[in-house]
Amino acid sequence: MSAAASSYTPAALPEQASFTASVDRMADRAIAVLGLDAGIARAIKTCQSIVEVNFAVEIKGRTEVFTGWRATHSHHRLPAKGGIRYAPIVNQDEVRALAALMSYKCAIVDVPFGGAKGGLIIDPARYEVADLERITRRFAEELMRHGCLSPALNVPAPDMGTGEREMAWIADSYRRQHPDDLNHLACVTGKPLHLGGITGRTEATGRGVVYALREFFRGADDVKAAGLAGGLAGKRIVLQGFGNVGYHAARLLCAEDGAKITAIIRREGALICEAGLAVEAVHEHLQATRTLAGFPGEQFSPQGAAALELDCDILIPAAMEAQITAANAPRLKAQLVVEAADGPVTADADTILRERGITVLPDAWVNAGGVTVSYFEWIRNLAHLRFGRLERRLDEARGEQLVTAMEALTGKPVPAPLRGNLVKGAAEIDLVRSGLDDTLRDAWQAIREARAAHPAATDYRTAAYVVAISKIARHYTDKGLR
């Protein structure tokens, strides 16, 4: 579509932009690059439905009323997919923005889902497990009542404040309401393994961050343009957020790639060590004490936000949205910002970072590991078949034949470690990790190609949105929705 054919004009951004406005502003850059038809552009950006639910639950003899939302940004492909967030600061705008990001994220990595997101205003730490179960099951009932929970239409997953346990409760609640649905386990992803989950889902987002970084560092020209050199080994990384995503990313980057985590930031402050923190020891300390404070032998600062501005090679915000804003973006010292969280860089901050020449790897690609492996879990649930079950032993038998042939030709035995690798059939975890790596690699190549094909898409975020929005627009036009 030519630029001349488009009459789309982005809405003015208010001084205190909402999360949704920030996401829309980033999408607007790609829409302008594509010269997209105004009507299609508005259809793509519009959240198609937001359901608000209010329900009462009796807790310890008193009645409490809870408010939650489920936003479906797009069902151009079904089901719509997105996590459920439990937090006292959840609000409708946040859920709407996160649903939009899910639409773009799924399109970038070629996962055939629309975008959705859910949230419940609650502090899980204030409730006992039995109370949380009652609240979660009531929330699931409300979602079902409004058509927001179904293997075919709307599939939640874990997010901040939720995990395997909550997904198991939701799946069981759905099963009780739909006992004849053979695919009931596919109504949510991120479940425990024994209840239809998939190996590798818990680590998926953090591992995906690592795969994204590895793929970026394979491109010498991209690395040089970011003001860096070489590979990940020895790179100084400041990490904000040490939950599921941050922990697994840090663990792998240190253990497998030789990077150094020089600071870990949480809400209570920052743990700092220029020589590199012992990630597993910090994790164990946090599990035992629920705080970074008091970790032996390292500097702790209660000024966590200030630690974002520490000198480092790579900054990985893996906590919440809007952590890097117009206020602190001018002071960042990292050469590369890797968005492991959703929306950690605001639109205004993104502009400042681009003007300063700081490279940003966008959230819609970097943290897509979770939804990618959720897709694998969903497919596994629909197929009722564990990945690798049909071919694993066949692969092992062929490996044995290969080793036997090598030994016959050379007259020498194959060394035991090599033999073990050659005859080992792929387990489910191997296939999941392979599929995740392949997905993120392909998406990165699509982003680079979009950047090369559109000179106005000078940054990776705009190029990623070009990839996403062009795919979604094609669905709208090909279906005749104009």
Q: Tell me, yes or no, whether 180 and 244 share the same domain.
A: no
Is 224 one of the catalytic residues?
no
**Residue 13 pLDDT more than 60?**
no
- The per-residue pLDDT for range 393-406, each reduced to its tens digit, is 999 999 999 999 99
Decide which of 328, 350, 366 is a domain's last residue: 366
Mark residue 295 as left, alpha or beta (left: phi above 0; alpha: psi -120 to 50; beta: remaining).
beta
Would 99 be classed as within a structural domain?
yes
State how far the alpha carbon of 182 is from the alpha carbons of 138, 383, 467, in Å: 23, 10, 35
> What is the rounded distance in angstroms from the CA atom of residue 362 to the CA atom of residue 109?
13
Would 72 be classed as within a structural domain?
yes
Query: What's the whole-number mean pLDDT along residues 429-457?
Result: 96
Query: What's the whole-number mean pLDDT along residues 39-55?
Result: 95
Q: Which two tokens stand for residue 31?
A: 């829409």
Would 168 be classed as within a structural domain?
yes
- pLDDT confidence of residue 421: 87
Decide which of 315, 331, 366 is a domain's last residue: 366
What is the overall mean pLDDT for the chain? 93
User: Has this prediction a pTM greater than 0.95?
Assistant: no
- The per-residue pLDDT for range 100-134, each reduced to its tens digit, is 999 999 999 999 999 999 999 999 999 999 999 99
Q: Tell me, yes or no, whether 225 and 177 share the same domain.
A: no
- The per-residue pLDDT for range 198-233, each reduced to its tens digit, is 999 999 999 999 999 999 999 999 999 999 999 999
Q: Tell me, yes or no, whether 99 and 213 share the same domain.
A: no
Q: Tell me, yes or no, whether 121 and 48 share the same domain.
A: yes
Q: What domain count does the chain have?
A: 2
Q: Tell me, yes or no, whether 260 and 328 share the same domain.
A: yes
Would 399 be classed as within a structural domain?
no
Write out the DSSP string of 294-305: T-TTSEEES-TG
Q: Tell me, yes or no, whether 124 and 247 share the same domain.
A: no
Q: Tell me, yes or no, whether 115 and 215 share the same domain.
A: no
Residue-number span of the structural domain to which 283 is assigned: 204-366
- Give me the catalytic one of 45, 81, 105, 117: 117
State how far the alpha carbon of 404 is from the alpha carbons of 76, 148, 392, 400, in Å: 52, 55, 19, 6
- 8 A C-beta contact, residue 335 and residue 359: yes
Q: Which two tokens stand for residue 79?
A: 């089901």
Write out the DSSP string of 148-174: --BTTTEEEEE-TT--HHHHHHHHHHH
Give the CATH number of the domain where residue 467 resides: 3.40.50.10860
Mark residue 411 as left, alpha or beta (left: phi above 0; alpha: psi -120 to 50; beta: remaining).
left
- The per-residue pLDDT for range 34-44, each reduced to its tens digit, is 999 898 999 99
Spatial neighbors of 158 by CB under 8 A, at least 6 apart, are 83, 84, 164, 166, 167, 190
- 8 A C-beta contact, residue 147 and residue 114: no
